[in-house]
Amino acid sequence: MSNAYINKVEKYMPNDAVTNDQMESRLGLINGNESKSRNLILRNNGIKTRYYALDDKGKITHTNAKLASLAVLKLLKNKLKVEDIDLLTSGTSSPDAIQPSHSLMVHGELGGKHNLETMSAQGTCNAGMLSLKYAYLALKSGESKNAVNVASETFSSWMLAQNFQSEIDKRKEVEDNPYIAFEKDFLRWMLSDGAVAALVQDKPNDNGISLKIEWIDVKSFANELDTCMYAGCVKNEDGSTTGWRELNNGDQILSSVFSLKQDAKLLQNNIIEKGNNHFNELLEKRNLDVDSITYFLPHLSSMFFKKKIIENLKEYNIDIPEEKWFINLTKIGNVGAASGMLMVEELFNSGRLKIGDKILMMIPESARFSYTYVLLTAV
């Protein structure tokens, strides 16, 4: 079988970085009131700046498809033309529309006279990894010679005050347990916009570093656990969900059915343990030597989880020294499906990589608990 190499990675972040003090003026006040839990949540997640596809008045500046297309065009500049692409894959959790598929909308933004294969991965944080795996398998099988994978998010317009009902701030509960604020308010103060595109080819670069994709391992725990992060449905007391199509217009509004929500208790009890359980299984399945890892790129939704991941890994006798961790969450925020490859982009273009370096990516998705691990080797 052929090999697959990441030969170029580029990001496109909309507008200027938004500081913590600027966030609420961009997203707006819910019912005219400032959030009582914002500062507490920001203190726990450790994010200092993020990017919004909004201007300083809160008006939308980029659609998701537009943002993704700009990342692709930046990727192809001085390298290839759109006409040279065999396959376009994409992943997002915040598409502009339910239909058509996101990849088709991105292809439409790119325009041109070239008809090509597209693929869209639906989900949350793992969507960008699932679309990358499709590109990887297409090259491995010889179906394609090259592919462009783009992961993108435009969460900010989803988080605008106009999309939320009034909510009760439980300040004491938030102070005692940071998970309490996760359902809606937490997400408003951590999510970010951006796009990242990767050129995947069946041969490495003639000059400069390439990243050989050794494997991409995905596992779902949905058979064991209920829905945790959700939109377009209501979560019932028994853990089941009722989709938006089963609700009348009044109930949809009353339930804020299209708001992005998270079951805080379920997240607290499972997100780290299940991911590290998958990691422990990989050590044998993939014959993975932890000591051989040069860089560990874990997607964290909040810096709050870092210490807990380290502590839980030690229960499996897995120790990855902190100097090997490469995280950019505090600078760019949680960009959902794009977060994994945004870490790769920064490392790839940093000049730090050397031939033989091994990069292990860990991408958890809390929607219904699925995880992706990726091993890359610098060649």
Which structural domains are found in the chain, ordered by start?
Answer: 5-201 (3.40.47.10), 211-221+266-378 (3.40.47.10), 229-262 (no CATH)
- State residue 369's pLDDT score: 95
Helix residue ranges per DSSP H, the chain: 23-27, 38-45, 64-76, 102-110, 127-140, 171-176, 185-188, 249-254, 264-285, 306-315, 329-332, 339-348
DSSP string covering 346-368: HHHTTT---TT-EEEEEEEETTT
Q: By three-state DSSP, how is residue 240 classified?
A: coil
Per the listing, tokens 């977060």 go with: 339
- 3-state SS, residue 342: helix
Rounded CA gap, 52 and 334, in Å?
Answer: 11
Helix, strand and coil content of the chain, in percent to the nearest 5, comes to 35, 25, 40
Q: What is the percentage of the chain residues whose pLDDT exceeds 90?
A: 77
Residue 219: pLDDT band by 50, 70, 90 thresholds? Answer: very high
Tokens of 87: 């396959």
**Is it the case that residue 178 has pLDDT exceeding 80?**
no
Query: What one-character-per-residue DSSP string does 114-128 give?
Result: ---EEEEEESSTTHH
Report the alpha-carbon distance of residue 51 to residue 227 in Å, rounded. Answer: 28
Confidence of residue 176 (pLDDT cuts 50, 70, 90): low
Task: Choose among 333, 327, 350: nearest CA to 17.
Answer: 333
Beta bridge partners of 152: 195
Per-residue pLDDT tens for 288-343?
999 999 999 999 988 988 998 999 999 889 999 999 999 999 999 999 999 999 99
Q: Is there a cis peptide before residue 204, judged by omega within 30 degrees of 0?
A: no
